[in-house]
Chain A
Amino acid sequence: KNEVEQSPQNLTAQEGEFITINCSYSVGISALHWLQQHPGGGIVSLFMLSSGKKKHGRLIATINIQEKHSSLHITASHPRDSAVYICAVRAYSGAGSYQLTFGKGTKLSVIP
């Protein structure tokens, strides 16, 4: 069974700070997702990556397959970035099927 650990669980930052959220997993995967959940529940998929690095605006996601670790970075953080960030990994579960396992999320609060 794949274990997905995120750190930190809670993070408070001042507006403008550079933020890093980490995700580690225990077994080999085919892809890793970063999701954003705003207060009120809406979930948005930010990235899906299987190697290297992806960038979208102020968000950067990296993954190190050998170390089974991914990071989500936010540059020049803003209060509207306040949300829960969730890591999910896609792994082969047998019989031609894949399964997504979710981390518990990191709650980010950016203070003006």
Chain B
Amino acid sequence: ETGVTQTPRHLVMGMTNKKSLKCEQHLGHNAMYWYKQSAKKPLELMFVYNFKEQTENNSVPSRFSPECPNSSHLFLHLHTLQPEDSALYLCASSPTPGDTQYFGPGTRLTVL
């Protein structure tokens, strides 16, 4: 079974829609991450959770709202997004923050 899974793999949404991205890891890790990867830009770390508590928020707009109900699940709730938010959103997990991270396949988001 794949270590880190993400759903959906592709999402197209309008600017007024509300949607959620889901990440699940079966590796027993305590840290989980959300990244954004826009075309021709490096990975941008958005949020870090450790033992379900948010430890980093890298100046992410409030239209992105993370939720971590337990160490295995991480959500990213989306509302009133902008076209420039279109990107690949990657989830990752690691035993502790700073350790080798294991990435999910990503969700390709398009905002119309």
What is the interface of chain A, defined by CB distance below 8 A to chain B?
A: 30-31, 33, 35, 40-45, 48, 86, 90, 97-100, 102-105
Contact = CB atoms under 8 A, between A and B. Distances in A.
Interface stretch (B18-26, B41-49, B59-67): B41-49
B74 interface: no
Interface residues on B, range: 10 to 19
Contact of B103 (A40, A42, A90, A100): A42
Give the interface SS of chain A, mostly helix, strand, loop or mixed. strand
Contacts, number: 44
A41 B37 contact: yes
A97 B53 CA distance: 14
B97 A45 contact: no
Interface in B70-93: 88, 90, 92
B45 A100 contact: yes
B36 to A, nearest CB: 12
23 contacts: A30-B98, A33-B100, A41-B37, A41-B90, A41-B105, A41-B106, A42-B103, A42-B105, A42-B106, A43-B92, A45-B100, A45-B102, A45-B103, A48-B100, A86-B42, A97-B55, A97-B97, A98-B97, A98-B98, A100-B101, A102-B42, A102-B43, A104-B42
